[in-house]
Amino acid sequence: MTVDEVLAALADPMRRRVLDLIAARGECSATVLAAELPVTRQAVVKHLGVLEKAALVEGRRHGREVRYAVRPEALGATARWMDHVAAEWDRRLAAIKRIAEEP
């Protein structure tokens, strides 16, 4: 998992919706997700594949179906990266402000 993969996966509104639904339910199958979304089960499976590749969800086989659960580690790593970037920009903006306000 890389930050780029996570951000690319989350760039799609439908994938964010899928992730939100899984998080709300704790665990669910593609069939359950498709029943709540305006897309086919096959489309949901494709979105789940992207989310799984980015390590945002994990699928576990239960009998004949695969149930997906959120993996928060990838979100945590991405949030830490975003915090680092934000802190760097804050530092740069503070330096610009200091220069602009010098007499």
pLDDT in tens, 62-83: 899 999 999 988 888 888 888 9
DSSP 4-23: HHHHHHHTSHHHHHHHHHHH
Would you say residue 59 has pLDDT above 90?
Answer: yes
Count of domains observed in the chain: 1
Q: What is the pLDDT of residue 73?
A: 87
Quote the CA–CA distance of 99 and 86 in Å, as a whole number: 20
What is the side-by-side order of every strand in the sheet holding 57-62? 28-29, 65-70, 57-62
- Provide mean pLDDT across the span 43-64: 95
Q: Which amino acid is at 79?
A: A
- Residue 1 pLDDT level (bands cut at 50, 70, 90): low
Question: What is the extent of the structural domain holding 42?
Answer: 3-101
Q: Are 90 and 18 in contact (CB under 8 A)?
A: no
Residue 53 CA neighbour count, 13 Å, CB half: 13
pTM score = 0.79
Here the CATH number for the domain that contains residue 34 is 1.10.10.10
- Could you read off the pLDDT of 19-43 as tens digits, one per residue? 999 999 999 999 999 999 999 999 9
pLDDT surpasses 70 at 7: yes
Q: Which of 89, 32, 20, 92 is nearest to 62 (CA)?
A: 32
Q: What is the residue-averaged pLDDT of the chain? A: 92
